[in-house]
Structure 1
Amino acid sequence: MFARLNVTLLIFAVVLSGCAVISEDECRSGLWYERGVQDGARGRSQSLVQDLAQECQSYEIYVDNEAWLRGHEEGVEQFCTPDNGYQQGRRGRSYEGVCTGPTADLFEENYQRGFAEYRIEQHYRKLLWRRDNLERELYSLHHALRHTDSDSQRRALYFQHSRLEWELRMLDLELHHYGLFGPHYFTPGLYPRGFFSSAFFYW
């Protein structure tokens, strides 16, 4: 019991430490230029230095803002590439608008392209999750229909079954637009209507 309690407390402490902007040890290290490079390369905005200063001040340690900003500028240059813009969007990460100059437009264009693909993939997964649940619900209804002798209950189950089948057909129509292999191999119009509900196809 005590072992479980200690593990729980350890996990709780890790979670709390993960919420902090910066740890006391990091504040005392004084590596502000290096920290700025790291934060800039992660796409964090310059306003972060205010949070760092406030956190370190609670330990009576002062942040070298100028060193952090110099490092941050270098880190942002690493961050603001077209390829990274696409990767950030593709992973669904937020963009804090740190890119400026001639690279900003290209970064944002690629970020928006990647983020659009991310949203499509998330929607596709949501559709598959819902379809899986519908199949389970329909299976349960089939089981209930086979084991009921009540006419009123049978009518209610048939009504619910019809509603779920209609939803499944509408969902299959939407999935149809993604083609056989999902959003990565989007081939509109390649598969016939109702293909995903046919007996020989299983998700």
Structure 2
Amino acid sequence: MKNRLLFILTISTLLFACNNHALEKEEEQPQIGNQLNPEAKLSITAKLKETRGMSYNDSLSYIVKYAWEWYAISKENNNAPTARGFDFDDDYGTQRDTINNKFLLWGVDIIQEDGSLGWFITSLSDFVIITLRTPNGSPANPRNYHGTLDLPHDTIAYVPNKIFQEARDKIMSAYERKNYQECYRLFDSAFIFIPTTGEKWRAMKASGIE
């Protein structure tokens, strides 16, 4: 009887230890949706139809090829304009997909390494993409231009504020659920740029179209 009781106690102890070990292993396993990926490549892609009377196929490749930087209004900068350049020279392709006509951003622009939301989601509006015009009127090619940067700016595309707000709401909802992978997916599918000119964009702003 003693031996049988000892056997049962031994088996119970082993089972308890195995279950605890399994639970610990399960807790150690990261949840897929919760994984931060600061190096993720996210895209701002083109609206998939011809827009505002422009030659769409020509304008998309032109925009991605010659975009120099983007400008936006930043809440974190007291609603002042802020800008950031796209990579150029040897790093020209790291933020441009010239095959699929997309601009590429890093995951850290959306969710920072400490898990807080990036300023692209929390702060920006009136987002435009610009190129630089050389004295002869041609755009400065970021791949090989090394002249003066004191050149006229020319707006060539924008991301509507409506797109920003709709994407922001969806991303915030996924972020609150700690589903970071869904945040990346939403950004990659929701943000689009539309070809325009500075004159057209200013006219839209003046008429209340955003």
> What is the TM-score normalised by the length of structure 2?
0.23
Of structures 1 and 2, the one with the larger relative CO (CA 8 A, separation 6+) is 2
More helix by share: 1
Q: Quick check: which has more Rg, 1 or 2? A: 1
More strand by share: 2
> What is the TM-score normalised by the length of structure 1?
0.24
